[in-house]
Chains A and B, each alone.
Chain A
Amino acid sequence: MHELIAFLICIPLLLSFVPQYSLQMKNNRNMDRVDTIVNSAKEEARQAGYFTDENITHMVDEIVELGFTEDEVIVNVTKVPKYRTETFDSRELIEYEVGVPIEKKIAANQLFGISDEENKGTYYTRGAVTSEKLPYVESD
């Protein structure tokens, strides 16, 4: 009998690792893809001098394809033109911060006494780049 009780305690503990591997793979794939999407949007922003509405929409659409809703994607980016200057000026940098929710970090969280609220998180990718857009020079 005691063998059966031990078995019943051990099985859920061991089985909890199986979904954990899959969950970690899913979370990591999402983080990696978000990084790649944001990086390519950032390259476009560098040419344009800022994150254009088209660029933001395209970026968010690509992130939504990963399984997030549009409302879940947090986007804080430079939306006013920044220019390439002859000397370095930190005010002329294009800044970006994009976040996506991580719904679950631990697969069998209840088993380890972790509440659903504690088990959530947000993954941010953020940074700054120089603009390559030349200032508009008015012709005579």
Chain B
Amino acid sequence: MRSLICTFALVLLLSSFSIFQVDNDSFLLQQEKLKHVADDCAAAASLYYTSDSYGDGIRIFDKDHGNSAVSYLIKQNLKEDPLQYYVYYFDGDGHVTEYKGKDLVKRQKVEYPYLFEESLTGFKEMVYEPKTIVTIDYKLFDYRLVFLRDARLIRTSGYEYVGS
């Protein structure tokens, strides 16, 4: 009887290790995937700009098309809809525009170099040139072991035009 109880205890312990290993591997894979998606979204948002201002030598991003590209890529590349995503456009004329999903949150004039700080992730970046930054707040990753706190899947990525 004693050996049976010991075995059950060991099976529980080893199962916990095994479950943690599977969950943690899955968490790291999803985090890596999210990093790539954030990279792709930031690159996609920077592709569209107004041709009139570009003719004057200033890159001003076309936010409507940039937001459509980000929204579409997130839908295509992630299995579930994220809790929220944020897109920041740093235009060549010094305007910073922040979107939460497709909704305009803030538009302000700054001077480059400008220290950008993402409030959600604490990501800091000195912005010198036109740039797009995307933050995807994907979800809380559910660790199956009840005594582990759920981890947040969130990534920020930026795409910059150097010397434009």
Listed in ascending order, the chain A residues whose CB lies under 8 Å from chain B are: 3, 6-7, 9-10, 13-14, 17, 20-21, 24-25, 28, 31-32, 35-36, 39, 46, 84, 86-88, 90, 93, 95, 125, 127-130, 132
Q: How far is the CB of A64 from chain B (nearest CB, A)?
A: 21
User: Does B33 interact with chain A (Cβ within 8 Å)?
Assistant: yes
Q: How far is the CB of A65 from chain B (nearest CB, A)?
A: 20
Report the separation of the CA atoms of residues A23 and B163 in the bound assembly, to the nearest whole angstrom: 49
Q: Which of A39, A46, A88 makes the CB contact (< 8 A) with B65?
A: A88
Q: Is the interface of B mostly helix, strand, loop or mixed?
A: helix
Which chain A residues border B21 with CB–CB below 8 Å? Answer: 21, 24-25
Known contacts A32-B32, A88-B68, A127-B37; A7 and B3 CB within 8 A of each other: yes
Q: How far is the CB of B54 from chain A (nearest CB, A)?
A: 10
Q: Which of B7, B48, B77 makes the CB contact (< 8 A) with A14?
A: B7
Q: Is the interface of A mostly helix, strand, loop or mixed?
A: helix
Known contacts A13-B7, A35-B32, A86-B51; A130 and B44 CB within 8 A of each other: yes
Which A residue's beta carbon lies closest to that of B3?
Answer: A6
Report the separation of the CA atoms of residues A93 and B11 in the bound assembly, to the nearest whole angstrom: 49
User: Does B18 interact with chain A (Cβ within 8 Å)?
Assistant: yes
Determine whether the beta carbon of B25 is less than 8 Å from that of A14. Answer: no
Determine whether the beta carbon of A31 is less than 8 Å from that of B77. Answer: no
Known contacts A13-B7, A130-B40; A24 and B22 CB within 8 A of each other: yes
